[in-house]
Amino acid sequence: MGFLTFRGGVHPSEKKEMSQDQEIKVLKLPDTVYMYTSNHLGAPAKPIVEVGEKVKTGQKIAEASGFISANLHSPLTGEIVSIEKMVNAASGRKDDVIVIKKTSEDDWQLLPHNDDFTKFTSEEIINNIKEAGIVGLGGAMFPSHVKLMIPKGKKAETLIINAAECEPYITIDERMMLEKTDEIIKGIEILLYASGIEKAYIGIEENKSKAIKTMIEKTNGKNIEIKTLKTKYPQGAEKQLINAITSKEVPSGGLPIDIGVIVFNVSTTYAIYDAIINGKPLVERGASLTGEGVKKPGNFLYRIGTKVNELLENVGLIDEENIDRILYGGPMMGIPLPNIELPTFKGNNAITVLTKDILPKREDFPCIRCSSCVSVCPIGLQPYLLKKYSDTRNYDTALENGLMDCIECGSCSFICPSNIELAKSFKTAKKVVRAMKQRRG
């Protein structure tokens, strides 16, 4: 049987067996949470609470401040104890953080909700998703309501649910499909209703056979079709997923809606269900705590804003001297943490702890122009050339050669026999280009 896929890509060791069979455990409420106002892609949310104010679980504490922005809600019933600056590992900058101390168990402030979502209009559903502060939970943290606001002149024709979960080690989306099957299917029906699209596709990699079987059984007779994908990284990248399922290509610099497609991560779909049916804003999510550096890898439901060290207490760390790095996310696109006393984000689908045994120090060598990076680039770029242009600050030529189309998946770095960290160079170059563009206005 042939599985759907895309051109290029790599096959890193999957390592999913470490947590694949571990049922999701609900963690106890933390004593304190730390909520970045930049908990999404786009402009930071604006705080609407003051120090000393009492808040309920689910109460809005910061308001979206732009079109690409998202509301923020309290994950605890407690008191605002400070609004301070903390390092944001993703950007390297200090961001505003709202600190909330728990004063009691959950006393929820819910949004309007209804078991029968058709009692809402599609506009009301999109507005409720916006009010709930839901963003992409696969890691991108793009505000979900924006995807449903179809620009004038565009038409949404295909809904794709991203359940590929191609990053090694991470298994939370797979567990969500096994344990929250009915809720996710209801979430898909809500998205179809809100978008006016007639049919949805769920893309799942072949290494999740139980989830594929369960989803096929539960969607029987519904306008939802399961598409089995070849296990290959980065199969879960939005453009590669769309290409594998529809054979269409998102144009350079374009968006999925330009070809009539909208994509939602499977855990995001569950969050949309929870908001519309139960009235719960996005204050908690699932994550895999995994890697050779933890004693008992597993999957957990936790309150957003919990510090990483508190999450890791639930799985235990091995000898700290043998730990190489701790990442927000997985080993291919994860963000190395400067310390573990930083808070979690809405987009944290995993904390991965890697050891020195797994990541031995490698000496890097000059590029030998073997073109391995070209053969695996899922976008069809020439990474070795982009590296040359980026290193010499020849940004105009780098842009002409597709620098901004790079999805930073790291496939080129993974395959490079000279151990050159190509993707890291491209991330830096893209930041420089964006900064130059901002300065020019």
Question: Residues annotated as binding site for [4Fe-4S] cluster?
Answer: 367, 370, 373, 377, 406, 409, 412, 416
The CA radius of gyration of the chain, in Å to the nearest whole number, is 21
Tell me the C-alpha distance between 124 and 129, whole Å: 9
**Burial of 251 from C-beta contacts in 10 A (0-12 / 13-18 / 19+):** exposed
Instruction: Could you list the residues known to form a binding site, using ranges.
Output: 367, 370, 373, 377, 406, 409, 412, 416
- According to DSSP, the β-strands at 60-63 and 72-73 are antiparallel
369: left (phi over 0), alpha (psi -120 to 50) or beta: left
